[in-house]
Amino acid sequence: MKPIETLKNELSEIADLKGAVNVLYWDMETYMPKGGTAARAKQVAMLEAIVHERFIGEDVSNPLGELVNLDSGEIINGLDEETSRLVNEIWRDYHRAVALPKEFVEELSHTSSMAHPNWVEAREKNDFNLFAPHLEKLIALKHREIGYLDTQDTPYDTLLDEFEPGFTTANINVLFGELKTALVPMIKKIQESGVNTKQEILHQYYDADKQWEFSEMILKDIGYDFHCGRQDKAVHPFTIEFHPTDVRVTTRINEHNLLDCLTGSIHEGGHALYEQGLDQKWYGTPFCQAISYGIHESQSRLWENLVGLSKPFWEYYFPKLQTAFPENLSAVALEDFYRAVNTIKPGFIRVDADEMTYNLHIMLRFEIEQLIINEGADVASLPELWNDKMEEYLGIRPETDTLGVLQDVHWSHGSFGYFPTYALGNLYNIIMFNKAKEKLPDLDNQIRSGNFLELRNWLKSNIHQLGRRQTAKEMIKSISGEDVTAKPFINYLKKKYSKIYSI
Amino acid sequence: MKPIETLKNELSEIADLKGAVNVLYWDMETYMPKGGTAARAKQVAMLEAIVHERFIGEDVSNPLGELVNLDSGEIINGLDEETSRLVNEIWRDYHRAVALPKEFVEELSHTSSMAHPNWVEAREKNDFNLFAPHLEKLIALKHREIGYLDTQDTPYDTLLDEFEPGFTTANINVLFGELKTALVPMIKKIQESGVNTKQEILHQYYDADKQWEFSEMILKDIGYDFHCGRQDKAVHPFTIEFHPTDVRVTTRINEHNLLDCLTGSIHEGGHALYEQGLDQKWYGTPFCQAISYGIHESQSRLWENLVGLSKPFWEYYFPKLQTAFPENLSAVALEDFYRAVNTIKPGFIRVDADEMTYNLHIMLRFEIEQLIINEGADVASLPELWNDKMEEYLGIRPETDTLGVLQDVHWSHGSFGYFPTYALGNLYNIIMFNKAKEKLPDLDNQIRSGNFLELRNWLKSNIHQLGRRQTAKEMIKSISGEDVTAKPFINYLKKKYSKIYSI
């Protein structure tokens, strides 16, 4: 067999193992009883170590070494362009993995599995001290990880590189600077506009089961395949894949906030369409993997915001929502509902934030993560630091840590460097959506009639099926002909919200 | 480190891996979308192979080889009695495992994972042909397995030995003979008694959610620890352990049969109490494992039948059940309800069968399995063979395969030799229960007030905590002073049902 075929076979088996580990993670955050925590932490740590050992083992390094210089990453002559690209991406993963000792991989996995339920409890009980010692351990492990990996501009950049390859803190600072300059005055104008978007419409009592049904209907409509997936509940919604034929979403329900479940489902549905849309004939290889976390977020946020908060979307779904909740909505006008779901208002919780202030939530996390990783900010100081930044960016100060530093799951997973990808997703997705609209001039009408097929197919052909054939930067350039900037997103926000708020 | 300590550490890690595989099996039978079948089959097969390789690997064989002759099983001099026993049990497992090639383990796992959903579909659609090709493959694999293992009296005995070590077909034939001789005339008398036990009480409409709540209440009451477990729904109820701190039960609900969910939950709760009651300080070793499938069934069936179908049990729970289902039960007398749940009546479905005819269901399976394994009975002939045996044993003939040969999950798992352990469980459990009553003279009163603590503690100390320190035969002898016979069970049935049916 050719080395590339041997390699693909081995990678396919490793992917099966990774999928198996993901079943354990999924269960951990959906159904696992609390008593199972310690055993589960050992189980996932062992399996992560097995996956790691296998990926850096001879069955990968031997065939890979025939295709690329394992130390330098230089491709050996004679490979066609596609294979070169594939090998380059495999090597990038290999190079990163081989730098990490097995014991480290095991310890990081174990520590984050033990941290997660303590984060859940800390959040529930509004007691940061329950989570703090775990967070300290995770930060120490992240410093060790940085030590193992190739040096980037800053320690934080080394972590960032895992989530958004090719992006540095400097790059992101430029984009976020652009964004902040536009957003802050825009939000100020909105706050001063005196327009009331009747947000209270969303905060009546909405029965949990009916919300659930509605969210599953929308998931089906946008093309999420329940034959190869399912939706469950989780404290913090997430999507996870065991294989392209088993991609699961989660959401959460708040009977006094209609948007929690709906936007959670649509967001995760967007992630899931990406995973379900990957090209299975490359299973196990980078060509059957998402480009980056930012591109992943572009998919979730495209469906959540650009589709799910649009007028055509609600022209189709609002009458159905009225039927499901007649007591709450039969007297509400579509226009009022549309404005309510598009209320711009600084709030404490990132995942509940509107499209505009959302980005400020990301910026404050981005700053805090740099302080933690580059400047050694003390864990004990984080609640205060968080609240200060919140006041600086959003003009409000959380009264509890549950509404502040404890709100997000990411750090309990040891994920530092993930947050900026959410805002990048916002910048990417409008670039993609603008191109899709150009290619599908009838798109608004299609959405207006609950038909998402052509949009989904466009995303599938132009993004999902390509896997990691391009970097995020290359993909955006190939779609729009331009480098990533915040302009298209700013223009989108201006156009949409100048109407809603008459500014 | 001493070899026994090295061995215990390694076995503990292998147990973690087995627990991880069990998470995948659990998901497969509770939540997995159908599309995930093929990928999951690969995942569990790979993990089973990893577990197998590790168990027959040097980290086990080296320390084990210092304690026992790996070929003969002869214990090396100088070990104390407890350690000798432990080593002997580890060696038994090792000796059986080392005979099986990794590829075989992988193929058997893969084949049964692919078979399971096809069994589900075949059962749903009443189409044996959907399952038949899978069953053929599994039977062929079982023949291969028999070829690898030490020869027993018959090929079927080789399989039986995995489920009920120390028992042969000949042993079981004696016990089943005794049982059949007593049961057949007893059932005949009951059928001729003309007594009507008003079974229709159980077949009214009972709301699924309320049944679920009631079953969870009983599980809590009998001492199932929800902090270290949970209940879910499955096509065929089962219990599965990921670790003694995460033992899960499943049940199923029929809105027109009150007993399906309740007895399912109590039965699985009995299994789960065994797993939750194991001695964790021996985790990974045979001293933290159930003795045999028969002893496991003794625990499930003790709670399901000896407790759950007893008068004192319903004296406590019937008023609560009346409160939960006033429309159905407020006008029903306790005595009538007690008689209804103890109706003796031949039916098609084993898991719905009463305590008496249940054993005939087992006998027919025992005979058919021997025909399959020892005589090469053709898969295509099984539906007919099943129906013939059903008529012979129970005097009724199923009109569909769903009510016949397709009803049980076991063969789809490749489990041949499991069934007889259910009837052995019946014989064991009354012996245990009689001893418990002797030691706890107040037991009936305790049950009458919903207090199961002393019974649970007795079972824990005398059975659960001992792990595999004794064989099933040894345990029964140490409890009762006698060898296993069917007499205590027959006496129990006679006493109980002569009252109910006035025979």
Tokens describing residue B25: 């099996």
pLDDT at B503 over 90: no
Q: What is the dihedral of CA A242, A247, A252, A258, to 10 degrees?
A: 170
| Chain A nearest CA to B161, separation (Å) | 30
Closest CA to B165 of B92, B88, B272: B92
Sheet harboring B246-251: ordered strands across? B231-233, B246-251, B239-243
Q: Decide if A44 and B20 are in contact by the 8 Å CB cutoff.
A: yes
**Where does CATH 1.10.1370.30 sit in chain B?**
169-374+412-501
Among chain A residues, the shortest Cα distance to B38 is held by A245
Name the residue facing A24 among B23, B39, B40 (closest C-beta). Answer: B23
Name the residue facing A36 among B13, B38, B245 (closest C-beta). Answer: B245
A54-76 as b/e, with b when 16 or more CB fall inside 10 Å?
A: bbbeebbeebbbebbeeeeeebe
- E strand or H helix at B243, and its extent? strand B239-243
| Chain B nearest CA to A31, separation (Å) | 8
Considering only CB atoms, which chain B residues are within 8 Å of A19? 39, 43
Q: Are B154 and B374 in contact (CB under 8 A)?
A: yes
Which are the catalytic amino acids of A?
268
Mutation site, B22, B25, B27, B121, interface A, largest A CB count within 10 A = B27
Considering only CB atoms, which chain B residues are within 8 Å of A229? 33, 35
Considering only CB atoms, which chain A residues are within 8 Å of B26? 27
> How many interchain CB pairs under 8 A, A with B?
104
**Cα gap A242→A248, rounded to integer Å:** 8
Among chain B residues, the shortest Cα distance to A47 is held by B17
Fold assignment, A169-501: Neurolysin; domain 3 (1.10.1370)
Given this structure, which CATH class describes domain B169-374+412-501?
mainly alpha
Considering only CB atoms, which chain B residues are within 8 Å of A225? 35
Q: Using CA of residue A152, residue A155, residue A159, residue A160, what is the dihedral sign? A: negative
Tokens describing residue A34: 């609390």
Mutation site, B11, B40, B224, B226, interface A, largest A CB count within 10 A = B40
Cα within 13 Å of Cα(B109), Cβ side:
26
By DSSP bridging, strand A231-233 and strand B231-233 are: unpaired
Mutation site, B11, B16, B230, interface A, largest A CB count within 10 A = B16
pLDDT at A503: 87
pLDDT at A116: 92
Closest CA to A27 of A250, A352, A331: A250
Q: Decide if A35 and B227 are in contact by the 8 Å CB cutoff.
A: yes
pLDDT at B408: 95
| Catalytic residue from among B29, B48, B268, B275 | B268
ipTM metric: 0.94
Sheet harboring A231-233: ordered strands across? A231-233, A246-251, A239-243
Considering only CB atoms, which chain B residues are within 8 Å of A50? 50
The end-to-end CA distance of chain A, in Å, is 65
Given a cut of 50, the residues of chain A with pLDDT beneath it are: none
| Chain A nearest CA to B248, separation (Å) | 9
Name the residue facing B43 among A19, A39, A230 (closest C-beta). Answer: A19
- pLDDT one-digit tens code per residue, B75-132: 998 899 999 999 999 999 999 999 999 999 999 999 999 999 999 999 999 999 999 9
**Cα gap A481→A466, rounded to integer Å:** 18
pLDDT at B151 over 90: no
Closest CA to A273 of A265, A262, A281: A265
**Where does CATH 1.10.1370.30 sit in chain A?**
169-501
By DSSP bridging, strand A231-233 and strand A239-243 are: unpaired
pLDDT at A151: 87
Q: Decide if A43 and B246 are in contact by the 8 Å CB cutoff.
A: no
pLDDT at B394 over 90: yes
Considering only CB atoms, which chain A residues are within 8 Å of B246? 32-33, 35-36, 39-40
Indicate the residue type of B10.
Answer: E
